[in-house]
Structures are given as C-alpha cells and as structure tokens.
C-alpha cells in the first residue's frame, strides 16, 4: 500500500511539474487582425504569431487558450491561464489587478460611422447619439466616463456585434482601436459601408500606455522573461517580420 501511495504521489508531482512547463496564453479570438478564429477553427492573427515568437525567444513551450475579453483577468488570477496577449491596454485600473510587460504595440482609437452620414465629434455633437463599444475595453471606460450622461453608450460582447448593429442602424457610431476597425472591417466586409470620422484619440489617462502582456502579480520571473523576449524581437527584427504580415505601417509606436 505504501509503495502504491509513493508511486501515486510521484506521478502527481510529475504531472504538476509538466503542467508548469507549459505557459497557457489567453487570447480573445474575435478582434481581427490581432486575433480571429480561422476557417479551420484555430486562433490566428498578429497576437497569436507574436505569442509564438515570444515563446520561441524564451525557449518556452506555450499553449494558446481562447478566452472572452471580459474573462481574461479573472482567468489569469484563477490560474486558468498564465499570461494575456489580447490587445489589453496598460492602465492604472488594470495595474491594480495584474502586472503588465512593456508594451508590444500602441495605436489610437477612433469613431466609425455609416458612409454618407455626418456627426460632429464634439461634446455637443455626440449628445443623444447611440455609441457602440466592446465590453471590458478601455474604449468602453472612456466613452462611459466622457459621454454616458449625455449619450447612449451601448456595450457589446464583441466588436463584430457592435459593427453589425452599426450597419443595421441600431446605433449611430462605434468607438474602438483604429487598427482592427481599419483592417478588420473597413478593408473587408464593411468596405464602402462605414468610414472613419473625427480625430484620433490618444488620452493616456483612459487609453493607456500601449498594449502589454498581462501577468499575475506573483509571477515576476515570467514578467521579466516576457520583457526580455519583447526586447529581443525588437532588436533582431523578428517583431517587424511578424508585423509586416498584417500591417503596412508601424503599430509599435515610439520606442521606450
């Protein structure tokens, strides 16, 4: 009996060690071109490719796990996943719950509107307007803080759902990151149907310092490893090789 218990304990310990050898990376999968579900039902895009690149630089085995955006931080802190690579902007509010690596990209936010329509992107012009945002994002926080009292800010589970309601006239505008709006929608199924309107928004207080890898506050070693991997990919040009697959312009922003 003792021998069986010892064997059982050894197997359990071995399985725990093996589990720790794999880093589970949470990615949303509905934010093209950063991440999307392909025809073969795999998660593809800029961030899955970056995740693989960072893990290669760390000589680390990784597994990509699809997680809805709202569930990413809870999933990280309950250890369902070990890292977040899901266009999560670095903000003071989120820093209270998790740590972030250095940024791996930084882009502004903009409004889109049905082609041919016009709205003044001012406090007065947005009064009473129905504005779609993705739930759990910095864009939702920004719109609620700025316009909830005067506009009808509506939150959606995904950007896809917000864009569908914009097309059918259920809302007047959508506010989101400029890149997925441009490449994921304006250059694809929504070409000619919607267009950008108004200025680009960069306010750091709401829109953050860029997008970073989310890490549990207790995982300082993993945080350092991701920072080193990001730096290595910037220095050896491998970041730009991945970037060029999805963008014809720089999405990293200023070097820090």
String of DSSP letters for 18-38 = HHHTEEEEEE-SEETTTEEE-
pLDDT more than 90, % of the chain: 79
What local confidence, expressed as pLDDT, does residue 6 receive?
39
Instruction: Report how many helices (DSSP H) and strands (DSSP E) the chain contains, helices first.
Output: 10, 13
**Do 123 and 189 belong together in one domain?**
yes
How many other CB atoms sit within 10 Å of the CB of residue 21? 9
**Do 117 and 236 belong together in one domain?**
no
Residue 252 gets which letter from DSSP? S
pLDDT band at 256 (very low <50, low <70, confident <90, very high): low
**Three-state secondary structure call for residue 201:** strand
Radius of gyration of the chain (CA): 20
Residue 226 gets which letter from DSSP? H
Q: What's the average model confidence in pLDDT over 117-125?
A: 96
**Do 163 and 126 belong together in one domain?**
yes
Q: Does residue 14 form part of some domain? A: yes
Q: Does residue 86 form part of some domain? A: yes
Residue 86 has pLDDT above 50, yes or no: yes
Cβ 101 vs Cβ 223: under 8 Å: yes
Quick one: which of 62, 57, 59, 82 has its CA closest to 72? 82
Greater model confidence, 135 or 15: 135
Q: What's the average model confidence in pLDDT over 26-48?
A: 94
Q: Does residue 80 form part of some domain? A: yes
Q: Encode pLDDT of 167-197 as tens digits.
A: 999 999 999 999 889 988 999 999 999 999 9
Cβ 105 vs Cβ 252: under 8 Å: yes
Q: Does residue 251 form part of some domain? A: no
**Do 64 and 187 belong together in one domain?**
no
Residue 126 has pLDDT above 80, yes or no: yes
d(CA 201, CA 203): 6
**Do 9 and 96 belong together in one domain?**
yes
Residue 100 has pLDDT above 50, yes or no: yes
Number of domains in the chain: 2
**Do 139 and 203 belong together in one domain?**
yes
How many other CB atoms sit within 10 Å of the CB of residue 106? 20
Range of the domain at 216: 2-106+209-246
String of DSSP letters for 158-224 = SHHHHHHHHHTTS-SEEEEEHHHHIIIIITTTTTTTEEEEEEEE--HHHH-S-EEEEE-TT-HHHHH
When the pLDDT of each residue in the chain is averaged and rounded to a whole number, the result is 90
pLDDT band at 5 (very low <50, low <70, confident <90, very high): very low
CA 188 to chain centre: 20
Q: Does residue 10 form part of some domain? A: yes
Domain containing residue 130: CATH number: 3.40.190.10
What local confidence, expressed as pLDDT, does residue 204 receive?
84
**Do 133 and 93 belong together in one domain?**
no
Strand partners, 214: 84, 100
Q: Encode pLDDT of 221-236 as tens digits.
A: 999 999 999 999 999 9
């Amino acid at each position: 009996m003792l021998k069986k218990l010892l064997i059982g304990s050894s197997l359990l310990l071995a399985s725990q060690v093996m589990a720790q050898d794999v880093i589970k990376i949470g990615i949303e999968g509905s934010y093209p071109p950063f991440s999307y579900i392909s025809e073969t039902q795999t998660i593809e895009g800029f961030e899955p490719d970056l995740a693989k690149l960072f893990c290669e630089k760390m000589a680390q085995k990784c597994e990509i796990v699809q997680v809805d955006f709202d569930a990413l931080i809870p999933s990280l802190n309950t250890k369902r996943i070990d890292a977040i690579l899901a266009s999560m902007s670095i903000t003071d509010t989120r820093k209270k719950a998790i740590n972030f690596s250095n940024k791996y990209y930084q882009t502004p936010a903009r409004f889109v509107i049905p082609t041919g329509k016009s709205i003044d992107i001012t406090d007065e012009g947005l009064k009473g307007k129905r504005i779609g945002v993705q739930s759990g994002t910095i864009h939702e926080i920004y719109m609620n803080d700025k316009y909830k009292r005067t506009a009808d800010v509506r939150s959606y589970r995904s950007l896809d759902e917000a864009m569908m309601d914009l097309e059918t006239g259920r809302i007047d505008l959508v506010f989101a990151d400029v890149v997925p709006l441009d490449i994921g929608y304006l250059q694809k199924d929504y070409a000619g149907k919607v267009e950008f309107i108004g200025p680009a928004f960069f306010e750091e207080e709401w829109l953050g310092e860029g997008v970073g890898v989310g890490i549990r506050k207790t995982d300082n070693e993993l945080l350092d490893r991701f920072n080193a991997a990001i730096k290595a990919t910037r220095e050896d040009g491998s970041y730009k090789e991945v970037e060029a697959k999805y963008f014809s312009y720089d999405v990293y922003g200023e070097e820090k």
